[in-house]
């Protein structure tokens, strides 16, 4: 049965047999799946903090040209989006394995899965829909060919991207707390 499956899967149950305490060998399959799951959350949440609270403020305050600062941070963010997409795949695969193999659908687990789902939806939307449009607009605006409407659209999309990152950060912290 799956009841109590988490403790058995993790190898935490001890048995006494004939006066000898037996401690089972840890379940390395569980440990590996859990490690990948937590690593994906840590990379994503840590990447958001690093990009938003460290890299962006430093780049935009130290690089003399706002255009160049935008290009540099844009490239950092573009690469981070690849990491996000890998994290999404890892979280979905490990989440399915964890649910099918070990976990019961408790309110805590459901909340964690919902947080990961929202996080993934935000990551996919930002990476696949918002960012490509931002990069295209950035190129047009940087070349001096941008119209006021394009600049307004760039600002709106930038806000959407930022909001997706904030939602992902909050959901990621919730998922880590409930992991």
pLDDT digits (tens, 9 = 90+) for 102-159: 898 899 999 999 999 999 999 999 999 999 999 988 888 876 777 889 889 999 999 9
Q: Model confidence at 10, in pLDDT bands (50, 70, 90)?
A: low
Can you tell me the mean pLDDT for 19-29?
Answer: 77
Task: Give the pLDDT score at 39.
Answer: 98
Share of the chain above pLDDT 90, in %: 69
DSSP letter for each residue of the chain: --TTHHHHHHT---EEETTEEE-PPP-HHHHHHHHHHHHHHHHHHHHHHIIIIIIHHHHHHHSS-HHHHHHHHHHHHHHHHHHHHHHHHHHHHHHHHHHHHT----HHHHHHHHHHHHHHHHHHHIIIIIHHHHHHHHHHHHTT---HHHHHHHHHHHHHHHHHHHHHHHHHHHHHHH-
Task: Give the pLDDT score at 54.
Answer: 95
- Residue 1 above 50 pLDDT? no
Q: How far apart are CA 145 and CA 59, in angstroms?
A: 24
Can you tell me the mean pLDDT for 44-63?
Answer: 95
pTM: 0.82
Mean pLDDT rounded to a whole number for the chain: 89
CA distances (Å), 90 to each of 79, 83, 87, 101, in order?
Answer: 17, 10, 5, 16
């Amino acid at each position: 049965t799956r009841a109590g499956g988490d403790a058995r899967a993790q190898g935490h149950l001890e048995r006494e047999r004939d006066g000898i305490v037996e401690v089972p060998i840890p379940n390395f399959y569980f440990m590996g799946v859990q490690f990948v799951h937590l690593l994906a959350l840590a990379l994503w949440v840590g990447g958001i903090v690093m990009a938003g609270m460290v890299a962006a403020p430093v780049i935009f305050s130290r690089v003399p040209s706002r255009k160049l600062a935008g290009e540099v941070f844009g490239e950092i963010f573009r690469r981070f989006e690849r990491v996000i997409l890998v994290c999404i795949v890892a979280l979905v695969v490990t989440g399915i394995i964890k649910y099918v193999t070990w976990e019961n659908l408790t309110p805590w687990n459901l909340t964690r899965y919902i947080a990961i789902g929202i996080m993934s939806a935000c990551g996919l939307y930002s990476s696949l829909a918002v960012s490509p449009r931002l990069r295209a607009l950035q190129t047009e605006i940087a070349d001096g060919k941008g119209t006021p409407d394009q600049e307004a659209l760039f600002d709106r999309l930038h806000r959407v991207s930022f909001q997706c990152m904030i939602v992902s950060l909050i959901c990621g912290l919730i998922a880590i707390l409930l992991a």
